Structure 1
Amino acid sequence: MQFVIHHNPKCGTSRKVLQAIRDAGHEPVVVEYLKTGWTRPQLQLLFAVAGMSPAEALRAKGTAAAELGLTAPDADPDAILDAMVADPVMVERPFVASPKGVRLCRPAERLEELL
C-alpha cells in the first residue's frame, strides 16, 4: 500500500504534510477532496480506521458547523456525517493513509507516526 493524502492545496498544514511525505521518499496518491467530495461510507471507513468519531474529524473553523449545531457536545454523529458529505470543507485535514494506518495529520508532526 502506498501513501494517500486527502489534501486541500489551500491549507498550509496540508501542503506541509504533502511535502514531508515526498521528502521521505514517497509519492502519494493525492485526493483533492474539495473537488471530489466525500461519500458517507468513505468517511465512515476513514474515521473507523483512524479511530475517530465524526465529531473529532469535524472542522469548525471557517465552516458553518457551529451555526448548524454540529459542535455541540450532544451533536448527532449522523448529522455531522451528512453535513460533511454536503460540504466537504467540514472535514478536518489532511488525512493520510499509509501502510502503518490512517491519521489526521493535524498538527503536521502526527505524520511521523506513519513514516
Structure 2
Amino acid sequence: MQNTDVIIYHNPRCATSRNVVGLVRAMGYEPHIIEYLKTPPTPEMLLWLANRANVSIREFLRTKEPAYKKQGLDDETLPDDVIASKMHDYPELINRPIVVCPKGVQLCRPAEKVTNLLILPEE
C-alpha cells in the first residue's frame, strides 16, 4: 500500500462513494475514510475543500435533498460562509465523495474521476 495520504469524505450508502473507495484501494492506497454524515466537516473545512478543488462551495451541494430548499439554499445571493454553515448543520447536503490527496481535492462523480488524483504505485 502507498503511504500517500488519501482522505475520502464518504457515505457508505452511496454506490459512487463505495466505488471510489474500491478504486482507491485497487490503485494501491489505503484511504482515511471520514463518514461525513456522522462527522461533518466544519464550515471552514468545507470552504477550504472547495477552494482547494478550485470550485464554488455550491459545487459541493446536493440540490435534490429536501433540506436544500427548506434551508433557502436555492437563493443564489447567499454568501459562501452561510452555505458552508448549512452544509455542516445538514451534512446530507454535502455531495460525495470528496477526495483529498497531495495532488488536490475533487468531487469524484463519476467515480473514475479519482484516477486523475492518484498516481499508480511503482511496480
Q: TM-score, normalised by structure 1?
A: 0.91
SS in 2 for 1:89: helix
2:81 & 2:55 partners in 1: Cα distance? 14
TM-score scaled by structure 2? 0.85
Question: Where do 1:32-71 residues align within 5 Å?
Answer: 32-71=35-74
Structure 1 gaps, min length 5: none
Runs of 5+ unmatched residues, structure 2: 119-123
Which residue of structure 2 aligns with residue 89 of structure 1?
Answer: 92
Runs of 4+ off more than 6 Å:
none
**Contact 1:6–1:93 under 8 Å retained in 2:** yes
Partner of 2:34: 31
Give the secondary structure class of the aligned counterpart of 2:106: strand
Give the stretch that moved more between structures: 29-38 or 66-75: 66-75
Q: Is the 8 A contact 2:8 2:98 kept in 1?
A: yes
1:110 matched to which residue of 2?
A: 113
Report Cα offsets for 1:37-81 as digits up to 9, x if no partner.
Answer: 221111111111111111111111234112322134333323211
The residue identity in structure 2 corresponding to 1:25 is: G
Which structure has the larger Rg over C-alpha atoms?
2
Counterpart amino acid of 2:24? I
